[in-house]
Amino acid sequence: MRDPAIVAGDPNSILRLDTASMKNPSKWSQMDSDILAHFLQVHGQIAQSRWKKSKVSFKHKGDKLLDSHFPAFEDFVFVTVYFRQFTEQKDNLLNDASDRYRDFVDCPIRNAWIYEEQKRFSDLLDNNTFMLPGYKFRELFDAFLYGSLLIHNIPKVYAKHRKRFLQLCDKEPRERVLYALNGSLHHLLNHIRNIAIVIYRDFSEWLVQYSLPLPDVRWHDHLFVVPKEKYYKER
């Protein structure tokens, strides 16, 4: 019987394989554990958000807008804090986590598969945006982050983001801008998700099998919750 095909973009084709072994586990560090755990956490926060569950659509009849559905402002702002860690070249969380995994996974198939997902993610960021072909998606996203003043930016690069943001507001139909913005983020999330699924299975196994340092991260969804055991109990 032939081995099942490995398909780019389909994590299930990788998950049909046995868990991968690890190269040079003695060189794995606490930082490696923390970065992979943080990557998985950030993906999880976006995947479980109200933004992810919101509809992204609009309907035209001729040149008249009949209907539209987009995430609420607060929901969009919530996920931009996380998406920014993937799109910002200084943070570069997706490539940081992926490259660490690829350095240690003892499987050339997984190595090549993850690299292809990284490439597709980068291509999506740096190519023209669907429905707004005059803008690369990184330009569109940065315009909404920095040009709209959702996030402060240093003066020397603020002007270009501000100019682009005003062009988007004043010259482009709002429904097309919001569709391009949110729709492209969903496409980015697909690549993040694919990588997270593959890394999670091997990483969780490696922690036990090779006695790697456990991640020392503080889970964001617990940061603003007071543990019940802290409450005073009267006898």
229 domain residue, yes or no: no
Q: Does the pLDDT at position 185 exceed 50?
A: yes
This prediction's pTM = 0.91
Number of domains into which the chain is organized = 1
22 domain residue, yes or no: no
12 domain residue, yes or no: no
- What are the tens digits of pLDDT across the range 83-123? 999 998 777 999 999 999 999 999 999 999 999 999 999 99
Contacts of 189 (CB under 8 A, 6+ apart): 43, 46, 47, 52
Q: Does the pLDDT at position 218 exceed 90?
A: no
Phi, psi of 134 (to 5 degrees): -80, 0
Range of the domain at 90: 28-216
- What pLDDT is attached to residue 1? 43
3 domain residue, yes or no: no
- What pLDDT is attached to residue 53? 97
- What are the tens digits of pLDDT across the range 144-153? 999 998 888 7
Report CA 164 to chain centroid distance, whole Å. 23
Q: 229 pLDDT band (50/70/90 cuts)?
A: confident
Give me the mean pLDDT over the 157-184 stretch: 93
- What pLDDT is attached to residue 234? 62
Give 117-130 as a DSSP string.
Answer: HHHHHHHHHHSEET
1 domain residue, yes or no: no
List own/partner pairs for 11-14 with CB under 8 A and 24 or more apart.
11/193, 11/194, 11/197, 11/198, 14/109, 14/110, 14/113, 14/198
Beta bridge partners of 145: none
36 domain residue, yes or no: yes
**Secondary structure E strands in the chain:** 57-61, 64-69, 128-129, 132-136
116 domain residue, yes or no: yes
193 domain residue, yes or no: yes
Q: Does the pLDDT at position 206 exceed 90?
A: yes
